[in-house]
Structure 1
Amino acid sequence: MPGTEFQWLAVVFGMLTGLGVTRLLSGVVATLRSRATSKIDWLPLIWSASLFLMLLEYWWSTYSLKSLINVWTYNEFLRLLVSPLLLFFSAALILPVHELKAGETHQEVFESHGHWALLGFSAYYAEYFWEAARYWDNQWFSGWGVFMVVIILLPIIAFFSSRRVHLVIATAILVIQVLGISVDFGELQDVRF
């Protein structure tokens, strides 16, 4: 597919990614504005930092799709829309978009609504696992494959775990992302974490 046609398709990927970033940043602003009403809960902010990196990493990696997919079909396009849709779903759930009302707490809001975003995290990682094997030739039955299965399961484990375990998992995933980005990224290349 010529570059101009890919750019036309990439607009949708960029639009969904941009909406996710906008929604996430709006949630951070609402959280900071609500600090007089309720003590800030760091757990959803840690997950939000991870999600922000996931959104940027996804956007960065879409550049390589231009050279990886020779023939674009509608089915291929729809299949690749799953990732930004899952990221947007997670961004829409992780933090409240409005300032908290009197009597609401960040922890309660996260536990009743925000933690559902973790299922979107796991679904995104599972979709990425499949995409990386299909487009980037990563091997499922390798050290990378085992690592990805762990990464897919961690948000699900956090979803059902105590707050302390949840905090450890959220922090571990953020650290892994930062380390992965510092090792794998530099120039626009065919690498995704």
Structure 2
Amino acid sequence: MDTFRWLAVVLSTILGLATTRILSGFVSAFKMRRRTTPDWLPLLMAAVILTEIFQFWWALAELLQRPQWSIIDFGLLIALAMTLFLAAALISPSEADLAEGPGFFQRDGRYALLALAVFHLAALVTNWWLWNQPPWAAQALPVIGLAVICVAAAVTSQRRVQATIAVLYLLLGLAAVIVVSPSSY
């Protein structure tokens, strides 16, 4: 087995755990639907984070052609996967969180957006390191924009602003995935 396949196993394990956290949150929301109305904002952001996880997982195929690997390469990729896991763990509501209502997002969920912002900034560094794509390149602007709006949503306590930013992130994030991700490898 070549080096990349060993790296891919570690990355896939972390991404799989993140996916499990989000899906568990969706199941909790479904189970609690008769007792309380789930807050849509963390569920929307969980779906967004799930999309980011799948896009990152899909993009790993581009690394298959890399001839050699360093500990820095591995560390950067692990940092990306771990920030996605943190975002997934912070945004995924438990049944107790769902019973609390919108207070969950204000208390813990918005920190997921900071983790997501760190993911985007780490992606800039990783793209620079692995692909010689500087963070000031035109291709980096959407990633910087996504990081900035994540921070904006995390630091504001105004629900309307958070909701508007979440919808904006969803639209920009989906557009970025469609434009950046190859449809096949």
Gaps of 5+ in 1: 189-193
Provide the TM-score with structure 1 as the length reference: 0.86
SS at match of 1:121: helix
Of 78, 82, 86, the match for 2:83: 86
The equivalent of 2:165 in structure 1 is 169
The equivalent of 1:71 in structure 2 is 68
The equivalent of 1:96 in structure 2 is 93
Q: Aligned-pair distance for 1:101?
A: 7.7
Letter of the 2:179 counterpart:
V
The equivalent of 1:123 in structure 2 is 118
* CA shift digits 1:89-134 (9 cap, x unpaired): 111110223x2389x3231122111111111000000001111222
The equivalent of 2:55 in structure 1 is 57
Q: Aligned-pair distance for 1:172?
A: 1.0
Q: Aligned-pair distance for 1:141?
A: 2.4
Q: Aligned-pair distance for 1:146?
A: 3.3
Paired residues, what number? 183
Residue 178, structure 1, aligned to residue 174, structure 2: yes
CA distance in 2 between counterparts of 1:179 and 1:150 reads 13
The equivalent of 1:191 in structure 2 is none
- The answer as to whether partners of 1:37 and 1:100 remain within 8 angstroms in 2 is no
Residue 12, structure 1, aligned to residue 7, structure 2: no
CA distance in 2 between counterparts of 1:101 and 1:166 reads 18
The equivalent of 2:105 in structure 1 is 110
Gaps of 5+ in 2: none
- The answer as to whether partners of 1:31 and 1:95 remain within 8 angstroms in 2 is no
CA distance in 1 between counterparts of 2:138 and 2:109 reads 32
Change (3 A) 1:30 1:180: same
Provide the TM-score with structure 2 as the length reference: 0.90
Identity of aligned residues (%): 27
CA distance in 1 between counterparts of 2:103 and 2:83 reads 23
Letter of the 2:160 counterpart:
R
Letter of the 1:22 counterpart:
T
CA distance in 1 between counterparts of 2:97 and 2:113 reads 24
Letter of the 1:84 counterpart:
A
Q: Aligned-pair distance for 1:65?
A: 1.3
